[in-house]
Structure 1
Amino acid sequence: MANTNRWSTRTLVTIALLCAISVLLSFVEFPLLPGVAWLSYDASIMPAAVCGFAFGPAAGVACGLISVVAHGILFADFTGAVMNALVVLGFVLPSALVYQKLHTFKGAIIGLLLGIVFGVIMAVLGNLVVTPAWLGVPLDAVVAMIIPILVPFNLLKGLLNAVLTLIVYKAISNLITPKKKQVSGR
């Protein structure tokens, strides 16, 4: 019996296009919090979340990780790549898993809210491990930044990613989803 779970050429091309958009968006960065210029926002997680909604959690995580690796290599930023990979896993995986099980607007909202929460948790945990280990920042200094800087920045980042994901996915879902799987009113 043939494997019916194979992705079509169109699906693979769409995923590759979302990966390319994610990489391009990773170059457009700006600070979200005044006085915290070393933490900048880019919308590169949004295409990965859209990919996760459209093609499942594995595709979304793969798209996000490809973007993270490409950006990390191009900028020789190992620590940033590790941190971004953790946030991609924290944001995209729960969002796509919930949306896969509850394929409605409510499911998207619940998934994205969980993605925000897990993205913030992964960012904080990553900062507690990666920043002292590779950047030499004392753990006490990182702990002191959690509430006033890290949590607000990552909440705002997650909220922006969630809103952008909803807007973009709604706008393009019927273009990237095969006709037989389209849902009206999405």
Structure 2
Amino acid sequence: MAIPPHAQHDTHATTRRGGWPTRRISVTALLCALSFIMTFVEIPIFPPAPWLEYDPSGIVAFVAALAFGPGTGAIVVVLPWVLKTLFSFNVWGHLMAIVANLALILPAALVARRVRGTRGLVVGMVVGGLVSLVASILCNLVVTPLYTAVGIADVIAMIVPILLPFNLIKIILNCVVTGLVQRPLSQALSA
């Protein structure tokens, strides 16, 4: 049986039809490990709400999505947060982090794949940022009343002064840092 051209460089592909090469599996595992470590870096970035903390794990997943595609990015978002749940039983908070990060990186990576170059990356980040902002607010409206003593009316009252600015700052940080590092990192990861 002939080896497909895209799998010829790696004879250890996971399937005969040219599934993920061993190198890509290894790099994805390393990105998941780095993302997992980054979930423990919690930085208060919005003084009016110091209990809301930013973690840079989304940057790692964003780079993975841009370098290898949305599927790999999704893996690098989900697996570290599922693993972190074993160490910290904040299931709802972790679920909200997964939703917010997936809502950012998946649309951004899909747009960036369709529209090549800097324009595609910027448009993708804007689209992903808007989707993530909406998803974050909706998650807060649904999830926060489930696991805290805060009622839905209180969550609605926090949207403009707290939730919108915090999530916007978080999205901008993820997009700016990813925009700065993604090209050299993508080239290094796919070399």
* TM-score strictly above 0.5: yes
Identify which of 77, 82, 107 aligns with 2:95: 82
Who is 1:38 aligned against?
51
- What are structure 2's unaligned runs of at least 5 residues? 2-15
Who is 2:8 aligned against?
none
* SS of 2:83 mapped into structure 1: helix
Please report the TM-score for the alignment, with normalisation by the length of structure 2.
0.88
Identify which of 105, 122, 126 aligns with 1:92: 105
- For this pair of structures, how many residues does the alignment match? 177
1-structure distance, mates of 2:144, 2:152: 8
1:150-178 Cα deviation digits (max 9, x unpaired): 01100110000001111221221211124
- Is the Cα–Cα contact under 8 Å of residues 63 and 185 in structure 2 kept in the other structure? no
Shift of 1:129: 0.3
Identify which of 9, 17, 24 aligns with 1:3: 17
Identify which of 4, 10, 30 aligns with 1:17: 30
Measured on the aligned residues, the alpha-carbon RMSD in Å equals 1.3
- What are structure 1's unaligned runs of at least 5 residues? 179-186
2-structure distance, mates of 1:9, 1:159: 33
User: What is the identity percentage for the equivalent residue pairs of Structure 1 and Structure 2?
Assistant: 37
- Alignment map for 1:136-155 (pairs within 5 Å): 136-155=149-168
Shift of 1:69: 1.3
Q: Which has the larger radius of gyration?
A: 2
Mapped pair 1:174 → 2:163: no
Who is 1:49 aligned against?
62
Shift of 1:64: 0.4
- Is the Cα–Cα contact under 8 Å of residues 65 and 88 in structure 1 kept in the other structure? no
Residue type of the alignment partner of 2:88: F
Identify which of 116, 124, 127 aligns with 1:114: 127
